[in-house]
Amino acid sequence: MRVTVTRAYKTELDLNNRQLTACKRHAGVARFAYNWGLARKQEAYKVTGKSPSAIDLHRELNALKKIELPWMYEVSKCAPQEALRNLDNAFAHFFRRCKLKQEGKWRGKVGYPQRKTKKQGVGSFRLTGAIAIFPTAIQLPRLGRLRLKEREYLPLSGIKVLSATVTEQAGHWYVSIQVEQEQTVPVNNGPTVGVDLGVKTLATLSDGTVIPNHRHLKRRLKKIKRLQRAVGRRKKGSQNRKKAVRTLGKEYRKVGNQRANTVHQFTSRLAKTKSVVVIEDLNVSGMLKNHHLAQAISDVGFAEFRRQLTYKAAWYGCRVIVASRWEPSSKTCSGCGWVDEDLTLADRVFRCENPGCGLVMDRDLNAAINLSKLAGSSSESQNACGEDSAGRSREAAVKLPTQSGA
């Protein structure tokens, strides 16, 4: 089956000095436009009780550009325009979370949009329009042809480029292109598996596979703590402190990459080799308080794990079922169905007290087996890629959990 998917490709740029300056300038203008827009929205809201949209703000900014901000002509007009669009999205998410909070469905922060500062890094900017891809380079509006560090990673044909985002992180520059692409979904004959995300391990599968946490993460965290102390010892505003902050930033980048990689590999492996994957619908903010998730997953977030698994499932013909939050998967005996109401997080082994059964099993494995059993009973679930998913497969995939949750 062929489907149209929207996906992104991210790769590192190899910039020369002139391009580096131009990229920094673009990021600077994007940051300026975002902060300016935020201030304008706040002002307008105080006076009129209404907030101008990204389109209104862009028109206003363009008028200002001619008189007060001539330096903005040095960058692509997309940079401020897309930054204002991001601001609109930031407010939309803020209002969405406020509503959820009122309904009692959100326990985290509501996240009112904040000013962007250079302290958080150089930042990023997004461009649309004429974008061309070559085997070793990418051509962007106003920036010209930028060399890529990896050869032929970006697809050359069969795609429609929607936008390109350039980002800086710890001195490295990346470009991420969002594309629309036709894809063939393979026939997936793999087994059904339940996945229990672990405390001490990354995950336990119902077939008995245990996916361990990577040890190197722990070592890196130790190093980060040491570097944080080094920053604290340096005098504020000094060159040595700046240097220490840079070293710390590099280490954060490494550990972030390693964790993201762990989760990417895990979700790919599941989607490629299993035909049905059953996961638990975890209340993320509650889970983090319990330190219930392995470090790699708690770092990228359970929502990110589920997002990756869902979109990859659509690529590889796998089906994701999300079990309801109230399904007592860890408290139920996978052998006979007896429920241990007293089971706590500290109990690592499940012991069935039903005299006819007496099952003794690793707690996580027991939970994973219970989850895998839900695959058969859940008749409402549907294929993650959906039959009519052409062009909309990603949205369809994201909606799936709520439909099959019960």
> Which chain residues interact with Zn ion by CB under 5 A?
333, 335-336, 338, 352, 354, 357, 359
C-beta of 361: minimal distance to Zn ion in Å? 9
Beta strands, E only, 110-188: 124-127, 132-133, 137-140, 144-148, 159-169, 172-184
CB 216 within 8 A of CB 262: no
Q: Is 342 a catalytic residue?
A: no
CB 365 within 8 A of CB 208: yes
Choose between 1 and 336: whose C-beta lies nearer to Zn ion.
Answer: 336
Nearest C-alpha neighbor of 79 from the set 25, 144, 19, 12: 25
C-beta of 127: minimal distance to Zn ion in Å? 59
| Separation between Cα atoms, residue 384 and residue 362, nearest integer Å | 30
Distances (CA, A) of 230 to 41, 75, 121, 218, 375: 40, 38, 20, 19, 51
C-beta of 133: minimal distance to Zn ion in Å? 58
Catalytic residue among 88, 196, 251, 327: 196
Choose between 314 and 333: whose C-beta lies nearer to Zn ion.
Answer: 333
Q: Is 196 a catalytic residue?
A: yes
Choose between 237 and 355: whose C-beta lies nearer to Zn ion.
Answer: 355
Burial class (CB in 10 A: 0-12, 13-18, 19+), 111: exposed
> How far from chain centre, in Å, is Cα 356?
46
Choose between 70 and 355: whose C-beta lies nearer to Zn ion.
Answer: 355
Choose between 6 and 354: whose C-beta lies nearer to Zn ion.
Answer: 354
Q: Are strands 159-169 and 124-127 parallel, antiparallel or unpaired?
A: antiparallel
C-beta of 359: minimal distance to Zn ion in Å? 4
C-beta of 255: minimal distance to Zn ion in Å? 41
State the greatest distance between any 2 C-alpha atoms of the chain, in Å, as a whole number. Answer: 85
Q: Is 299 a catalytic residue?
A: no
Catalytic residue among 251, 280, 327, 340: 280
Q: Which residues carry out catalysis?
A: 196, 280, 364
